[in-house]
Amino acid sequence: MSNELRIAVSEEKGSTPVTIMYVSGDLDSKTYLDLEAKASDVIAGGAKNILLDLHEVHFMGSAGLRAMHAMSVKLKDTGGQLKLLNPSDQVARVLKTLGFDKFFDIHATRDAALKSF
């Protein structure tokens, strides 16, 4: 019934290192803190740039935006960035409805996203 939140992390060690966080399941008011916590761990471990892969997110509410906002602020403090990759239709709807699509860098493909950092 519920699609629990799952997060996997990988590192791209190109000219600009990027940490990719693959998120799947439901990102709601129950689970958004898990995303924030994982991002905090990743940032504490030295990550400056994070690419959030949202293709497999089945549901996202405004709490997901809360998490992204927190992540973005933390990364800005270290001179880094948060960017978004290939949001699912439902996620794209939430981003667009609240205008977050104009303020986040959103890419359709992994290659384009990585090149943009």
Partner 1 sequence: MGDDRIRVRASLDALALVREFVERRATAAGFSKDGAAELVLAVDEAITNSVEHGLRGNEGRIEVSVVPQRDGLRVIIRDDAALFDPTRATATQLDLSPLDRAKPGGFGVELMHRLVDGVDYRVTGNGQNELTLLKTRR
Our finding on whether 35 is near partner 1 (CB under 8 A) is no
Our finding on whether 79 is near partner 1 (CB under 8 A) is no
Q: Which two tokens stand for residue 4?
A: 């629990």
Q: Which of 8, 98, 108, 112 binds partner 1 (CB under 8 A)?
A: 98
Q: For the chain, what is the HEC assignment?
A: CCCCCEEEEEEECCCCCEEEEEEEEEECCCCHHHHHHHHHHHHHCCCCEEEEEEEEEEEECHHHHHHHHHHHHHHHHCCCEEEEECCCHHHHHHHHHCCHHHCCCEECCHHHHHHCC
Query: For residues 48 and 110, which CB has a smaller minimum distance to partner 1 in the complex?
Result: 48
Q: Which stretch binds partner 1 (CB under 8 A): 14-22, 42-50, 65-73, 105-113?
A: 65-73
Our finding on whether 37 is near partner 1 (CB under 8 A) is no
Q: Which stretch binds partner 1 (CB under 8 A): 9-17, 36-44, 48-56, 61-69?
A: 61-69
Count CB-CB contacts under 10 A for residue 48: 15
Least distance from partner 1 to the Cβ atom of residue 76, Å: 8
Summarize as ranges the residues that interact with partner 1 (CB under 8 A): 1-3, 26, 28-30, 59, 61-63, 65-66, 69-70, 72-73, 89-90, 93-94, 97-100, 103
